[in-house]
Amino acid sequence: MGSCCLYSPTNTNTVIPIRRLHSAKPVISGARARANHSKLVFVPIRAVLPAAQYSTTTMANSVRVAAAQMTSINDLASNFSTCSRLVKEAASAGAKLLCFPENFSYVGAKEGDSLKIAEPLEGPIMKGYCSLARESNIWLSLGGFQEKGSDDAHLCNTHVLIDDAGNIRSTYRKMHLFDVDVPGGMVYKESSFTEPGKEVVAVDSPFGRLGVTVCYDLRFPELYQQLRFHHEAQVLLIPAAFTKITGQAHWEILLRARAIETQCYVIAAAQTGKHTDKRESFGETLIIDPWGTIVGRLPDRISTGIAVADIDLSLIDSVKVSSPLPEPRTPLSI
Query: Which of the residues 215, 264, 280, 284 is marked catalytic?
Result: 215
85 phi/psi in degrees, rounded to 5: -65, -40
Query: Which of the residues 174, 264, 280, 284 is marked catalytic?
Result: 174
Cα 255 from Cα 257, distance rounded (Å): 5
102, 260, 248, 1: CA torsion to nearest 10? -50
Is 102 assigned a catalytic role? yes
Query: Which of the residues 4, 89, 99, 102 is marked catalytic?
Result: 102
How many other C-beta atoms lie within 10 A of the C-beta of residue 198? 8
Cα 263 from Cα 261, distance rounded (Å): 6
**3-state secondary structure labels for all residues of 124-148:** HHHHHHHHHHHHHCCEEEEEEEEEE
Is 215 assigned a catalytic role? yes
The closest alpha carbon to 114, from 144, 77, 69, belongs to: 144
| Burial of residue 197 (number of CB atoms within 10 Å: 0-12, 13-18, 19+) | buried
Catalytic residues: 102, 174, 215
